[in-house]
Amino acid sequence: MSETTSGARHMMAVIGAATAGSEIARILAQHGATVIVFEQNPRPYGKIEDGLPRWHTKQRRDEYAEIDKRLDNPNIHYVPNTRLGKDISFEELRRGWGLSGIVLTHGAWRDRPFPVEGADEFIDRGLVYQNPLIYWFNHYREKSYNGPRYELYPGAIVVGGGLASIDVVKVLQIETTLTALAAQGISEDMIRLEREGIEPVLAQHNLKWANLKIQPCKLFYRRRVLDMPLSDIPADVPPKRADALRLARGKILQKAQRKYLFEFQELRVPTGLVVEHERMVGVQFGRTEVVDGQVHLVGDERETVRGKMTISSIGSIPEPIPGIPQKGEVYTYVDSRLGLLMDGSTSVFAAGNVLTGKGNIKDSLESGTEIGVRVAEAYLGLSGEEVDLVKGARHAAELSGEKIANAIDRRGLVAPEMVEKILTRVRARQLEVGYDGDFRGWIRRVTPPDLE
């Protein structure tokens, strides 16, 4: 990629400024392109700020600094508070701006719908989705927080099975413990409960979990413990090794239960809702079996489980954006290896969580079969080990960035008059949202003093 002396150059837009977006912007800029990064929020930290529970203090702080470093670049134009699909339409950006390419790195923020028809009528009346819940958990202590507020009830039902659902049960168990302790006049620290576990902290107050009389929350999973996607199992490991790694998943779960005292039930799938006085007060579950990797409902018997609150944590998918071809939950690709969604005079690529649908441990941390278990235990706070959780996502983005830069390199440059036109549009939008081009100054202004 290059720039001619006349000022012709490649002009790229990146949508979403977080781990993947900032890394790809950095690489494209390094290759000589001018990059415009559109971000819906004032701050560019994405899942790191809003999805990774705030007890990952160091990881979050480190990655904020990394993202800042990547975006603070004279060839990168940051455009905050600008949402694709709302403030700018995808079609307008693709057909009307004259860009060389667009890279979608807007993540996976839509919760997969709870699998019972009509359930969404009860959102915030008994049903809560994981993404807004963790967003609230990460921000509710800030003075300026004005989003939805959640009251957490003991005995909540959690439907899930992956790492994010364990985050949810940890939030529930830790917060309900803090509330019960506060009722006894004891002020405790969330971080200590997460690091040391519930019983050891209670013991320091001469208390036991049973004294608090808190009904634990319960996690329901549709497959078997050994199928839980807590740790990745590489496709090429020998069958015996794969079996051992599946068993290790059970051990990860047991460790998490011992530390955070939640209950667990495998082989159950929601089949109905329990509704009273226009609130969802429970879930009907059917039993399942797993045959050849497929989940089947067994028999007609249904079990009613009551809970004032049900949290759905069954995965996050990319938000649909009008104009981007999609089949079911995922976008459709012209070339999925390259992440190429659409060809044409402005090509469209996707990378990061929007492409993979998840944060990818396995893509990054060299191969080796134990690594998945180690990372999962470190992520869940079970081993005391510090691992760079975002390394995987960053590395995957780096690979995507290089591939995209090489593909763009083969295209003609944008003429200088067009470059000027695009930059005028960018400046107009920046002005509209109050961004003066000083990235560091902006971050200082839009960061709440009490952001954790």
Give me the residues that bind ligand FAD (CB under 6 A), please: 15-21, 38-41, 44, 46-48, 51-52, 83-85, 105-107, 109, 163-164, 167, 319, 352-353, 359-361, 389-390, 392-393
What residues does 326 pair with on adjacent strands?
331
Least distance to ligand FAD from the beta carbon of 391, Å? Answer: 6
Least distance to ligand FAD from the beta carbon of 231, Å? Answer: 10
The span from the CA of 124 to the CA of 44, in Å, is: 27
Phi and psi at residue 332, in whole multiples of 5°?
-100, 140
Q: Are 389 and 51 in contact (CB under 8 A)?
A: no
Least distance to ligand FAD from the beta carbon of 168, Å? Answer: 9
Q: Which is nearer to ligand FAD, 222 or 358 (CB)?
A: 358
Q: How far apart are the two ends of the chain, measured CA to CA in Å?
A: 39
Least distance to ligand FAD from the beta carbon of 196, Å? Answer: 21
Q: Which is nearer to ligand FAD, 40 or 310 (CB)?
A: 40
Least distance to ligand FAD from the beta carbon of 435, Å? Answer: 14
The span from the CA of 60 to the CA of 51, in Å, is: 10
b/e for 7-33, b at 16 or more Cβ within 10 A? ebbbbbbbbbbbbbbbbbbbbbbebbb
Q: Which is nearer to ligand FAD, 181 or 219 (CB)?
A: 219
Q: Which is nearer to ligand FAD, 193 or 387 (CB)?
A: 387
Tokens in use for 161? Answer: 């099975």
Q: Which is nearer to ligand FAD, 361 or 382 (CB)?
A: 361
Q: Are 15 and 426 in contact (CB under 8 A)?
A: no
Phi and psi at residue 381, in whole multiples of 5°?
75, 30
Least distance to ligand FAD from the beta carbon of 195, Å? Answer: 18
Q: Which is nearer to ligand FAD, 380 or 422 (CB)?
A: 380
Q: Are 183 and 207 in contact (CB under 8 A)?
A: no
Least distance to ligand FAD from the beta carbon of 88, Å? Answer: 8
Least distance to ligand FAD from the beta carbon of 128, Å? Answer: 16
Query: Which ranges of 1-56 would DSSP assign to H, the alpha helix?
Result: 19-30, 46-50
DSSP letter at 267 equals: S
Q: Which of 183, 255, 172 is nearest to 212 (CA)?
A: 183
Q: Which is nearer to ligand FAD, 210 or 235 (CB)?
A: 235
Q: Which is nearer to ligand FAD, 109 or 122 (CB)?
A: 109
The span from the CA of 399 to the CA of 427, in Å, is: 30
The span from the CA of 401 to the CA of 392, in Å, is: 14
